[in-house]
Chains A and B, each alone.
Chain A
């Protein structure tokens, strides 16, 4: 059996070990000791300060500073009712499969992270919203929650403290948009998964109208380590602005697709060529999407970039979820555009005019180009449609739909132009997408 993942660090060191997924096995590695100490002797304020000092960025895609997000929640003086933590385990960004590993192989690490975060924001309950297709994860988590309840890790006196907490697992039903935090909240409430306008923000009015914090699975899994080893330890890993390890998921035309736990700031070319073994079949690299399907592509010549937002930003892309999609030189970028726009067209919730209509229009235009029916003006038209969508909608989905198309047009205009010039796709093979 191959190691899971290929390179490990503090997050995933024990993920190859089956016992780590059980309560006893987790405790044998010192698990829940940090939470036990904090829940008994610590204060929410100190915990939030530690997190702020660590500089941990959310790993759900937006890289928002976790400690800062927690501090938006009302303090102890607000006693109007319950507040909630929501763990976002909807992982549906194409190219992302990092949370899945943690859910399946480190459920108690996640539960310990949940306990700490919940203590910091004074939440009495956590909703763990899991992508519906993650059957194994749901099975593992259900058992882990039962074990934790039986072992008094959860319950009215969590880990023997005076802090009461419970975790409720909720299964999603396969909509990408239910990963967007307010779409998720609507879905949790049993409604159609459509993101909410902001304000109000979840910290003020979240699930069931109560103050709520939404955090990604991986984000929460960093927390026990940070609290145990300290903010300075965490800051010693990664870059100054983007501390810590992260889980990079590499897929596409590489020799060793899979997960890699590496410090933020690890150069993209090192990940692709050294860790993932380079392009498969001895072919040449054409492009890399660095952070899940919603992020702008980088051409082969620009992959010498440290994987941290402060560097990726200069190349007009971002870390996203760390899902790295590698494409070799046989890849038609218009077909890539067809696939990407098809995805976003399918998944738009349809509330906002620009997103509802723009995703469909972009898809129709690139499909037309792929069929050889494009015009040169279509490139400018596509850019313009992207500009009409970007930054103008209820949620970041429309940006997520526009950015990859903008990236493809920016770096591979020749692929689009040759389709127009030849009146057909110059790449071999047939391509049909419903």
Chain B
């Protein structure tokens, strides 16, 4: 076990791991952002203000903002030192509020601002800018420079995702260290020296890696902004909701930035057990799928109208869709029993919906069940091969491999299929042809997908950002999410639809009015 030492910061004593620095130790015990309370670090004042230090990057020690007075013991003389690089030791006393400390911070703030363009009114970082915040809390209130401010490049296109403003850069080198230490791609460097120092990409090497947008998060100022979110919205109009990215089974924690009942951005939310402080660019941009045009907004039922060659999927009311399912499944059950029915779960469904699905199948006595999940590229950092947030949750509920189900379908033993999500064809064991002969296919999905082509009834379900639910990531960590946006009135949880279908089939224990529904109605009214 690591040795522990006691340090005192202002009037509070902390027991911390030896071998850490003051900032690290305070961060370890959650004391660095005392009023964090669900808020992003960008929104709260740190106990010890800092720029270049970042919990997941090497110590730089250059911005000098984190200076504090340290004493080796209560009686030792105080010494000004940077908290990010001062090792803790038994009895260390740290003073973050003395006049010397305040003066040192003020010095750093004044010097950082003498060449700053002060273009906050047109800067996208305004409102979550640490230079702004600390200028208020630790800086001086007027400029003493008479000389013109340094001119530098504006609106530099660094690569596919990021725009750079050289005048706003405070040269903390967080972005440089990120590209060297985290992605190992090293596109960024500080060139020249002294007050000519500038951040640049290396010649002919754009900032282009799978995690590039994280540099905008860790940039304390408005120097690095993402093309995706830039100028979209003033950040003080955003509400932050805790969510997860559903791009892969890592389940990176995100702050969902919401305004006007729409997701405006994802930012990584720190969770040291899952994603640290990062997320991949694909995942970050995946919020766009929530409001994409191909979202399903109503139930669909396949019917053949007079004059048509073949039956077509067309919008139907909830009751019509539920009735259509019951009308197809009841006779089948009565004639052939549950053995001809199969259920396929999805890694996109929440634990709650997966449990509801399992219960539904159990009550029906269906035992041909499996999980369809898409696989893709993975890397050593975060991205997992399983493309869905809840494969582990589905397996825990009892949905196993797809292969036996696929075999039975292809072997002709199945006549009805109830399927969640759109990954049915992902592993290639099934395709539309294999399903063409089925009597009934009932699908639950967020988006239009090829599954539609074989479906007889389709139910529009909610995205993870639209519900209070939980997902289990690849490490088995159960992660709760909160509803960030409210979908259209006909979009519901899988569990909710299944409840109604169960009732229509007359299954034991299924009621018409569900709890979730009552809740969501109440919620809708409040929003």
Contact = CB atoms under 8 A, between A and B. Distances in A.
**Most chain-A CB neighbours within 10 Å: which of B80, B87, B171?**
B171
Interface string A309-352: 00000000000000000000000000000000000011111111
A177 B192 CA distance: 13
A385 B114 CA distance: 12
**Most chain-B CB neighbours within 10 Å: which of A353, A358, A359, A392?**
A353
A49 B327 CA distance: 99
A361 interface: yes
A260 B153 CA distance: 51
A347 B194 contact: yes
Nearest to A373: B146
Contacts of A16: none
A349 B111 contact: no
Interface in A181-197: 192, 194, 197
Contacts of B82: 197
Interface of A: 177, 192, 194, 197, 199, 345-354, 356-361, 364-365, 368, 381, 385, 387-389, 391-394
Given A353-B108, A356-B197, A358-B111, A197 B147 contact: no
Contact of B111 (A194, A350, A353, A365): A353
A358 B112 CA distance: 9
A350 B195 contact: yes
Given A368-B146, A392-B67, A361 B111 contact: yes
B115 interface: yes
B115 A357 contact: yes
A197 B61 contact: yes
A393 B65 CA distance: 10
B194 A345 contact: yes
Contact of A354 (B61, B85, B107, B190): B107
Nearest to A388: B107
A341 to B, nearest CB: 12
Contact of B144 (A177, A350, A381): A381
B61 A394 contact: yes
Contacts of B271: none
B85 A357 contact: no
Nearest to A377: B144
Main secondary structure of the interface of B (DSSP, over half): loop
A237 B499 CA distance: 99
B195 A357 contact: yes
A158 to B, nearest CB: 38
A353 B80 contact: no
Q: Which 5 A-B pairs have the closest CB atoms?
A: A388-B107, A197-B61, A360-B195, A350-B197, A357-B111
Contacts of A353: 62-65, 108, 111-112, 170-171
B47 interface: no
Contacts of A387: 107
B145 interface: yes
Nearest to B189: A192
A233 B87 CA distance: 42
Interface in B92-141: 104, 107-108, 110-112, 114-115
A392 B107 contact: yes
A350 B147 CA distance: 20
B364 interface: no
B193 A354 contact: no
B260 interface: no
9 contacts: A346-B194, A349-B193, A353-B111, A361-B114, A364-B147, A388-B104, A391-B80, A393-B64, A394-B61
**Most chain-B CB neighbours within 10 Å: which of A194, A388, A393?**
A388
Contacts of B115: 357, 360
Contact of B62 (A347, A351, A368, A381): A351
Contacts of B193: 177, 192, 194, 347-350
Contact of A356 (B67, B80, B195): B195
Given A351-B62, A354-B108, A199 B195 contact: no
A32 B193 CA distance: 43
Given A357-B112, A391-B80, A352 B62 contact: yes
A345 B194 CA distance: 6
Given A351-B62, A352-B63, 13 more contacts: A192-B193, A197-B59, A348-B193, A350-B171, A350-B195, A353-B64, A353-B171, A354-B111, A357-B195, A359-B195, A361-B145, A381-B144, A392-B104
B105 to A, nearest CB: 10
Given A353-B64, A394-B61, A197 B112 contact: no
Contact of B110 (A177, A349, A388): A388
Contacts of B145: 361
B151 interface: no
B196 interface: yes
Given A392-B104, A394-B61, A350 B112 contact: no
Contacts of A381: 144
Nearest to A389: B107
Contacts of A192: 193
A365 B170 CA distance: 22
Contact of B195 (A345, A385, A388, A389): A345
